[in-house]
Amino acid sequence: MPAEKKHITLSYSVFESVEALMENDKALLLEARNATGDAYAPYSMFTVGAAALLYNGEIVKGSNQENASSPAGLCAERVLLSAISSFYPKIGIDTIAISYFNKKNNKSGKPVAPCGICRQSILEYQLQQQKPIRLILAGMEGAIYIIENIADLLPFSFSGSDML
C-alpha cells in the first residue's frame, strides 16, 4: 500500500513596490533598508538589515555582523532579536521587515527570506509571545512579500514541547 501524500501550502501577499504598502509597513521596510548600511559584511559583501515594529510602537533595527572566524558572525535577524530581548524584554514583536544589498553585483531586486537558524529564532519569540509575527521580505527595489506568520516558513518546526 503506498504512503499517504500530504501537501504544505504557503500563502503570502506580493506587492510590486514599496509605494504599494500600507504606511506602517512602508516605514518599517525603509528602516530595514536603511539598516543594511550598518552591516559589517567585508567577507560576503552581502549586507542585511532588519527592523521590528514592537507592540509598544517602538522600532528596533539590526544588521548582519560578520567575523573573520566565520561561524562567529550573526545574521541581522538574530542581532535584532538580541537587541529586543535586551532593551525591550517584555514587549512583543508585531512585524519584522528584512532587506539586503549584494555589494558584489550591486543587485537586490527580489525578496530574500531568513536562513533556517533565523526562522527558528523568530519562531521561538512567536511561541513566547503567543501571537503571530508578520514578515516583510524585500530587497532594495522590486517585489515585496508579506508573510502573516513566521510559522508558515517553518512548517516542521522544533519547539520546547518536542522535548517534553
**CATH number for position 147:** 3.40.140.10
pLDDT band at 1 (very low <50, low <70, confident <90, very high): confident
108 is a domain residue:
yes
162 is a domain residue:
no
76 is a domain residue:
yes
The arithmetic mean of pLDDT across residues 75-87, rounded, is 98
Among 29-38, 107-116, 155-164, the least confident range: 155-164
pLDDT tens digits, 15-56: 999 999 999 999 999 999 999 999 999 999 999 999 999 999
State the catalytic residues.
77
Half-sphere exposure at residue 143, Cβ-oriented, CA atoms within 13 angstroms:
9
pLDDT at 149: 98
Residue 159 pLDDT greater than 90, yes or no: no
pLDDT at 158: 86
22 is a domain residue:
yes
Structural domain for 68, as ranges:
14-157
How many domains, in total, are found in the chain? 1
| Pairing of the two strands 46-54 and 93-102 | antiparallel
Helix 116-129 vs helix 76-87: crossing angle, to nearest 10: 30
Report the side by side order of strands in the sheet with 93-102: 13-15, 144-147, 134-138, 93-102, 46-54, 59-63
pLDDT at 52: 98
- Answer for the pair 118, 75: CB distance below 8 angstroms, yes or no: yes
120 is a domain residue:
yes
Q: What percent of the chain has pLDDT over 70?
A: 100
8 is a domain residue:
no
133 is a domain residue:
yes
pLDDT band at 71 (very low <50, low <70, confident <90, very high): confident
5 is a domain residue:
no
pLDDT at 70: 84
- Cα distances from 53 to residues 27, 47, 133, in angstroms, run 10, 21, 10
- Mean pLDDT, the chain, rounded, equals 96
Burial of 105 (0-12, 13-18, 19+ CB in 10 A): exposed
pLDDT at 160: 86
Output the DSSP codes for the chain: -PPPP-------EEESSGGGS-HHHHHHHHHHHHHGGG-B-TTT-EEEEEEEEETTS-EEEEE-B--SSGGG-B-HHHHHHHHHHHH-TTPPEEEEEEEEEETTTTB--S-----HHHHHHHHHHHHHHTS--EEEEE-SSS-EEEES-GGGG-TT---GGGG-
